[in-house]
Amino acid sequence: MPTISSPMSPSDSNRTLRKATVEDIPAIKAMVDAAYSKYIERIGKPPAPMTEDWDETIRTHEVLVLRDNEHIVGSISFYEDKQTNSLKIDNVVVDPKAQSRGYGYYMIKYAEMEGQKQGLPSVTLFTNVKMFENIAYYPKLGFTETERKMEDGFERVYFYKKLAE
């Protein structure tokens, strides 16, 4: 399978994004469980990515895994949301042992480039209202909060970012 790489900078040459396969699901699930388990107590139940059907997600969304030096350190899933005419990022996860190295930023920037390539005017995403860290982080990437609502039993905060034309 071809590797998808993002032209972020020469120092990122050991980072590659590639389409996830069913063989990657155990690694994705392990990262999701490790990264999201700290939120169970805050939310009162496992966050949605922990109970997601990853087999189905790989069939219906673009799911990529980020490798750095041959180790999977992150994953992102997104799809074209016809309802909002945007590229909707459904999940971004970074292995807790690899956090604070810019991997999440790298994957979100890649998704933005994909949205532009597809001719979409914006990127949207959401997080749980109790994931305070994310609510503070996304505006730093240029996202604007658009709404808060209950959905699938979770209180979610939605964000929007207009893409350059």
- Classify residue 111: in a domain, yes or no: yes
- Classify residue 149: in a domain, yes or no: yes
What are the beta bridge partners of residue 70? Answer: none
- Classify residue 81: in a domain, yes or no: yes
The parent domain of residue 97 ranges over: 15-162
CATH number of the domain bearing residue 48: 3.40.630.30
- SS3 category, 53: coil
- Classify residue 7: in a domain, yes or no: no
- Rounded CA-CA distance 78/96 in Å is 21
The pLDDT of residue 2 is 36
- Classify residue 35: in a domain, yes or no: yes
- Classify residue 50: in a domain, yes or no: yes
The pLDDT of residue 115 is 95
The pLDDT of residue 74 is 95
- Classify residue 6: in a domain, yes or no: no
The pLDDT of residue 13 is 53
Q: What is the pTM of this model?
A: 0.87
Per-residue pLDDT for the chain (165 aa), expressed as one digit of tens each? 334 444 444 354 588 899 999 999 999 999 999 999 999 999 999 999 999 999 999 999 999 999 988 789 999 999 999 988 899 999 999 999 988 888 999 999 999 999 999 999 999 999 999 999 889 999 999 999 999 999 888 999 999 999 986
- Classify residue 135: in a domain, yes or no: yes
- Rounded CA-CA distance 13/40 in Å is 35
Q: How many domains does the chain have?
A: 1
Strand ordering across the sheet containing 122-128: 15-19, 62-68, 71-81, 86-94, 122-128, 154-162, 144-151
The pLDDT of residue 141 is 93
